[in-house]
Amino acid sequence: MTQPDNSHPDAGSDTVGSVHELAVLSRIFPLLPAATAATVGPGDDAAVMAAPDGRFVVTTDMMVHGPDFRFAWSTGHDLGWKAAASNLADVAAMGARPTGLVVAIAATRDTPVTLLEDIARGLRDACAELAPGCGVVGGDLSVSDTFTLAITAFGDLEGRAPVLRSGARPGDTLALCGDAGVSATGLKLLFSDAVTHDGRPDHVRAQRLRQDHPRAVGAQLAPRPPIASGVAAALAGATAMLDVSDGLALDARRIASASGVAIALNRASLGDDPDTALRGGEDHALLATFPPGRALPEGFRVIGSVTDGDGVTVDGEPVAGVLGWDPYEGWNGGTG
């Protein structure tokens, strides 16, 4: 893995170190999406969110420059979009409708204010396309030697029970909505072809790759997970579900472990590159189990089944070890 490079290709004249926080916020706030569930939005010490169900889903995720993204490859808009999408997918995987985001950014002092504006636009556009009505209800700005973006997302169960990882039962159908391995293919392309001769990420090469391989590179830099399908799966009676962020084999194992069952995957259903589909993450597809014979919601396709036992198999062969992403070890058998 190459070393982090905190330079910003889209540098502007004003940086966060040269203007006051209030000036930065005054430029960001008008760009952020409003949340329909917020009764008090940004501007006070805390937001107030309506919770008509009496419960709410909450999740959080952090993106750190270096291990999680590279400015040499990602635009500010990409970063805002990806941060929103990854959190929205976690809410969707519980069978909930996303309602609000809280965004905290620790930026280097030389970070252009225009970059933060582009991140805000990415957040806005991702919410508008993937989860209409969800918006940014607050957050925080700080300074750090390493650019870090953290998001907390909220969701409404709308009277339904949450869909947990622990509900799969033998005989259930295993189905996937979204891609598997496409984002990992994009990451592999970036690491192999979007670096300079000394191994540093290269912005020009990354943009050329994006033009040549829009689906794969786009899926890595700005994924489009099927957020609305989380509610559809819950309404269809999904017994277990999660967001595939760390690799299909690893995340299927999480359902198997939580439910006390085995997951049997069908290699032929995993596309043209089953190995990458098994190992690669960050597509943020929804992996769900459904009662046998149940009609699947639109977009879901059968990729296997739930059986007695434990662990994960592919065409009857056990998947040995842990394949996928570990934040402390990187890609295990993967693409990075």
- Distance between CA atoms of 5 and 201, rounded to whole angstroms? 8
Nearest residue to 144 via CA among 109, 104, 103: 109
Residue 77 structure tokens: 């808009």
**Could you tell me which residues are annotated as the binding site for substrate?**
68, 282, 325
Strands 57-64 and 48-49: unpaired
- Distance between CA atoms of 64 and 106, rounded to whole angstroms? 10
176: helix, strand or coil: strand
CA distances from 303 to 100, 202, 215, 334 (A): 32, 37, 22, 20
**Could you tell me which residues are annotated as the binding site for ATP?**
139-140, 165, 245
**Could you tell me which residues are annotated as the binding site for Mg(2+)?**
45, 59-61, 90, 140, 243, 246
Residue 262, classified by CB atoms within 10 Å of its CB into exposed (0-12), middle (13-18) or buried (19+), is: buried
Beta bridge partners of residue 241, listed in sequence order: 288
153 DSSP assignment:
E
**Buried b vs exposed e over 107-120: b needs ≥16 C-beta within 10 Å?**
bbeebbbbbbbbbb
Quickly count: other Cβ atoms within 10 Å of residue 230's Cβ: 31
